Structure 1
Amino acid sequence: MKNNREKGTLSSLLEILMVSSRLGLTSFGGPIAHLGYFHNEYVRKRKWMDEKSYADLVALCQFLPGPASSQVGIGIGVMRGGILGGIVSFIGFTLPSVVAMITYAIILQGLDVGDVGWIHGLKIVAVAVVAHAVLGMANNLTPDLKRKAIALFALIGTLMWQTPFTQVGVIIISALVGFLIYRHHTDNNDPKIQFPVSNGFAVTCLVLFFGLLILLPILREVTSLNWIAMFDSFYRSGSLVFGGGHVVLPLLQGEFVPTGWLNKDEFLAGYGAAQAVPGPLFTFAAYLGAVINGWKGGVLATFAIFLPAFLLILGSLPFWDSLRRNPKIKGALMGVNAAVVGILIAAFYQPIWTSSILAPIDFAFAAILFSMLVYWKLPPWVIVVTGAIGGSLMALI
């Protein structure tokens, strides 16, 4: 029995690694697009979790600081294969872009990739993927007029007041509205989610998160070690960012350019590469670390900036299922899930639509890719390859 269980665990971990690595190689378009890719792969195709549980996990990760899409991927990996599953899921999704960014820093520094046609094609792929995800989530999470109204409020609020804390504010207000409207809701059909993480381990992770946030700046002041200063800057950036990868870029610029770790030209040289690679935008840290101290600096920077995301999601998951099933909390989560739909629609417009659909031909190509994905049921990697080829051909027109 033990050998069979070990084989089953190994098989699950290999499956998680295979699926997450494929997503890490093909998930272009930023954090909101990643949620669309995850929804298509983990919910629609593999059915590792149901729509409601996925939406609840997304809502939790939107509320936590850090890279939301990476935290969702870690959470799904934990649910599927325990803590090792979360680590394997993170490695598969993140490693391709980390390797690419370190390579850019060491070999291809200064390469202008901002206007390459295939990159524009991949941005249009993100339009099709996110549109598909938004439609599916809207059908399930906003079935009545009240929740549609909450989603509309979230959409307008997110678009009109674009600050790092807008999403958190919108979620809090939507939770309050949902609680007031649905506090007597009696639907108890939500499946129980099993998180193989103990409460004690979760509390340890949360204590470690806050402890490092306090201790690292102190160590930075009392020591003269560059690697501690570097670790502190990346850890703090990963801990205090709300709103996803795009928000962390100016924060990192403020940490490293004025202090002389690297110059503005070196910073901007990596920005185009960060937009060109798949996977989480937080791997821009790998580029910065590699510019500062070679590949070892890239590895250190990647570990430091993603460590808060790991600690927060592992510290929150064990308590999340009991909260989401509590009748007093359920109404609030119904409001939050509706708000997530609105936030996704807002992100679909800005920055995904506005940076991708620049001409009628772009819209026509997006419609083709959307049809391939939704109606012809072609796998996402086919959509990605088609988008890259189509973007290159359109650049020649």
Structure 2
Amino acid sequence: MWFVFKTFFILGCISFGGPAAHIAYFRETFVQRLSWLSERQYAEFVALSQFLPGPGSSQVGFAIGYHRAGLKGAISAFLGFTLPSILIMLVLVISAGQLADNTLFASVVHTLKLLAVVVVFDAVLIMYRNFCKETSSIFVCLFTACILLVFPSILSQIVVLVFAAVIGLLFLKATKLESPKKKRHCLIKSSFTCINYIPLLLFLALLLIPNLLFSLSPFFSVFSDFFHAGSLVFGGGHVVLPILQGMLTEQVTSDQFLSGYAIAQAVPGPMFTLATYLGYFILPNTPIAGALIATIAIFLPGFLLLLSCLKHWGRLAKNPCLAAVMNGVNAAVVGLLVTALYQPVFTSSVFSGLDMALVLIGFYLLKRQKLPVLYLVLTFAVFGVILNFI
């Protein structure tokens, strides 16, 4: 458990750049360096996280921890990866954002975002080679990227994933199916028999019970608001912004909300820890309790839904129908990463020729010199310090 926690804690301290960068960091660490799982297993976890509501990159980390050491490993992975971001958010909200306004801090964060461009680009290249080998899969990848670049929305993402699943089932079969009848029913039957209903029922209960009890205590009200927000988010941390903004208009000011969102983008780890910042203000008499309740509530729905199918996911993934579907979805995931590489990773990081030069240097150090990511983080942090004084 300790090694799982320690590994994810280190990643939680250095994972700047948002969900796409986190997925790239995870792949480099757990597939390439530690060999905890194969490229295909990792791609299946990423694809599964795209189908479920919740924090996509944190769900991937949760799945890796579960794959390595069961439920304790999953919880250790979540705590390790999320704790640095939570602690930073608490320090910043208590100190009224003094560190966030520091120019040296801003400069280091900027160069670490440039490193995220390098890491995500490397992940896109490798995953493209692995999952886009056929004409159909290349088409799915290209179609996904083009649609999401032109029409960036959650509805577009859901549509292209469904489209990719259909294309996979029709044209990317992993094995020859025995008969049309089996082809038609095998996926549905296997899906229902492999669902773990306890986490699913707990999810449904928590979705309803706090609503009935919120008048008894403000804690129930906070839990209910953030649990519902976590249940509605498809597509990662940026999508939670309009949902929370609509739910909390009477509980936090516009300045508090926008400050929290800006800080969440600047710190490493999952953007869902925006809930930590906002929860602090919602319960002024017990601000730390409010921050922790909000944080747990917004992450919990995605993890419960993941657990409902993760335990038997390996067996379910061997189903010929689902294997074909996953081939299509894996190609779409590469397209999703291409989209994320452009927006927000590249567009929010590269603003000048100097920025692009640092990206090229980082790519050279990663691919040709094989410099480990931790050393790359230290190198880019030094770049940030130097740039602050130029």
Q: Would you say 1:89 and 2:77 are equivalent positions? A: yes
Contact 2:12 2:85 in 1 (8 A): yes
Contact 2:107 2:385 in 1 (8 A): yes
Q: Would you say 1:62 and 2:50 are equivalent positions? A: yes
For 1:231, which of 219, 223, 231 is the aligned residue? Answer: 223
Deviation by residue 1:111-166 (Cα, 9 ceiling, x = unmatched): 65497222211110110010111111111111122211110011011111111232
* 2:242 partner amino acid: P
Q: Match of 2:168?
A: 178
Deviation by residue 1:204-232 (Cα, 9 ceiling, x = unmatched): 10111122213332333xx2421111111
Poorly superposed stretches of 4+, deviation over 4 Å:
none
Q: Would you say 1:253 and 2:245 are equivalent positions? A: yes
Q: Match of 1:316?
A: 309
Q: Quick one: structure 1 residues 114 and 29, their matched pair in 2 at CA, closer, same or farther if it must change by over 3 Å?
A: farther
Q: Distance in 1 between matches of 2:157 and 2:389?
A: 39
Q: Match of 1:128?
A: 118
* 1:277 partner amino acid: V
Q: Match of 1:191?
A: none
TM-score by length of 2: 0.90
Deviation by residue 1:280-304 (Cα, 9 ceiling, x = unmatched): 0001101111223321111111111
Q: Would you say 1:243 and 2:235 are equivalent positions? A: yes
Contact 2:117 2:345 in 1 (8 A): yes
Contact 1:57 1:75 in 2 (8 A): yes
* 2:220 partner amino acid: I
Q: Distance in 2 between matches of 1:210 and 1:180?
A: 34
Which blocks of at least 5 consecutive residues in structure 1 are unaligned?
1-12, 188-198
Q: Match of 1:193?
A: none
Q: Distance in 2 between matches of 1:323 and 1:166?
A: 27
Q: CA deviation at 1:320?
A: 2.2
Q: Aligned residues: percent identity?
A: 42
Q: Match of 1:196?
A: none
Q: Quick one: structure 1 residues 365 and 109, their matched pair in 2 at CA, closer, same or farther if it must change by over 3 Å?
A: closer
Q: Would you say 1:338 and 2:328 are equivalent positions? A: no
For 1:204, which of 187, 198, 201 is the aligned residue? Answer: 198
Q: Match of 1:217?
A: 211
Q: Quick one: structure 1 residues 379 and 183, their matched pair in 2 at CA, closer, same or farther if it must change by over 3 Å?
A: closer
Q: CA deviation at 1:200?
A: 9.5
Q: Distance in 2 between matches of 1:158 and 1:87?
A: 32
Q: CA deviation at 1:103?
A: 1.4
TM-score by length of 1: 0.89
Q: What is the RMSD computed on CA atoms of the aligned residues?
A: 1.9
SS of aligned partner of 1:165: helix
Q: Would you say 1:272 and 2:266 are equivalent positions? A: no
Q: Match of 1:51?
A: 39
SS of aligned partner of 1:328: helix
Q: Match of 1:149?
A: 139
Which blocks of at least 5 consecutive residues in structure 2 are unaligned?
178-192
Q: How many residues align?
A: 370
